[in-house]
Amino acid sequence: MVKYFILFVIYFGATTDILFGQSLPAIQLDRPDQTECPFITPKKYIQIENGFTIEHIDQNQKSFNYPSTLWKYGVNEKFELRLITELVSEKTNDTIHSGFSPITLGFKTSLFEERGIIPKTSFIGHITTSDIGSEEFRTSYIAPSFRFTMQHTLTPKVALSYNLGAEWNGENAEHRYIYTLTTGFSLTEEIGCYTELYGFISKWEKADHRFDCGLTYLINNDFILDISGGLRITENAPQNYISLGLSYRFKTIR
């Protein structure tokens, strides 16, 4: 199986130069870190970001995403449409629930370009439906969320990115604030890495703080692989996770 995957990567990397062309800058992702990027999907392009994740919540609970997929469409240079679908399994002791989480609809819009101390900034808004998904994962209410996503270019090979926002869980009126802070490094033209702190803050619960890091490998400007993993900092956070990703983009018919 591994050799077939390697052959696929080599073939895909060779042929997508012809199929997609390389006139655009390299693909920019909202994964594998938790920090959403401020870049907009190019106009008339569809971008698909897939992540396969195993998360150990505690000794008795695990969750699996296989995959979680972010679908993006570039409407113009300032605006993209977004759709999130997740096929999940949750295991508690010997009980397993599997199915589709309620789908999430949203958008990203560019606000500011980077200039001096002003970071490149975009706004992301999402609505997670309450009942468009498997029965086991439905919620009582729709669940909104939003983020401001910002990035500073420190050097040609180093960027500092961060998010601030809030989200609701769909079960009650309570919300929690989100923060992320990540530093990304370009090791070569193809290989990048990052380290990140992120967490959730609510007046009803103790703050939940986490750490993760990862690597990306650019096959070509339209196709990229990633691997990442994270650990908890505070006791109320999930113990750890590991994730593999495969993302690509292509232009729609004119």
At 228-237, the pLDDT tens digits run 999 999 999 9
**62, pLDDT greater than 60:** yes
DSSP character string of 163-219: EEEEEE-SSSS-EEEEEEEEEEEESSSSEEEEEEEEEEEETTEEEEEEEEEEEEEEE
CB-count exposure of residue 109 (10 Å: 0-12, 13-18, 19+)? middle
Q: For the chain, what percent of residues have pLDDT higher than 70?
A: 91
What six digits make up the tokens of 207? 């703050």
Write down the mean pLDDT value for the chain.
91
pLDDT at 12 over 80: no
The Cα-based distances of 79 to 34, 73, 76, 143, 181 in angstroms read 21, 9, 5, 22, 24
Antiparallel, parallel or unpaired: β 95-100 and 120-128 = unpaired
3-state secondary structure of 153: strand
Q: How confident is the model at residue 94 (pLDDT cuts 50, 70, 90)?
A: confident
Among residues 28, 29, 36, 32, the alpha carbon closest in space to that of 165 is found at 36
**Residue 113: strand pairing partners:** none
What are the extents of the domains in the chain?
25-251
d(CA 40, CA 75): 9
Q: Name the band, by pLDDT with cuts 50, 70 and 90, for residue 254.
A: low
Place of tokens 């980077």: 114
Pairing state between β 191-202 and 205-220: antiparallel
Question: What is the pTM for the complete model shown?
Answer: 0.89
Q: Lowest-pLDDT range, 8-12, 22-26, 141-145, 199-203?
A: 8-12
φ/ψ region of 112 (left if φ > 0, alpha if ψ in -120 to 50, else beta) reads beta
| Angle value at C-alpha 170, between 102 and 38, nearest 5 degrees | 70
Angle 237-243-249 from CA coordinates, rounded to 5°: 125
Contact 110, 78 (CB under 8 A): yes
State pLDDT tens for residues 148-173. Answer: 999 999 999 999 999 999 999 999 88
Sign of the Cα pseudo-torsion (162, 165, 171, 172, in order): positive
Give the three-class secondary structure for 232.
strand
- Cα–Cα distance for residue pair 210/72, rounded to 1 Å: 27
Write down the residue that tokens 């130069």 correspond to: 17
pLDDT at 20: 42
One-letter identity of residue 118 = I
Least confident interval from 5-9, 50-54, 218-222: 5-9
CATH code of the domain occupying 25-251:
2.40.128.130
pLDDT class for 35, splitting at 50, 70, 90?
A: very high
Give yes or no for a contact between 142 and 130, defined as CB atoms under 8 angstroms apart: yes
Determine the Cα–Cα distance for residues 17 and 36; give it in Å rounded to an integer: 27
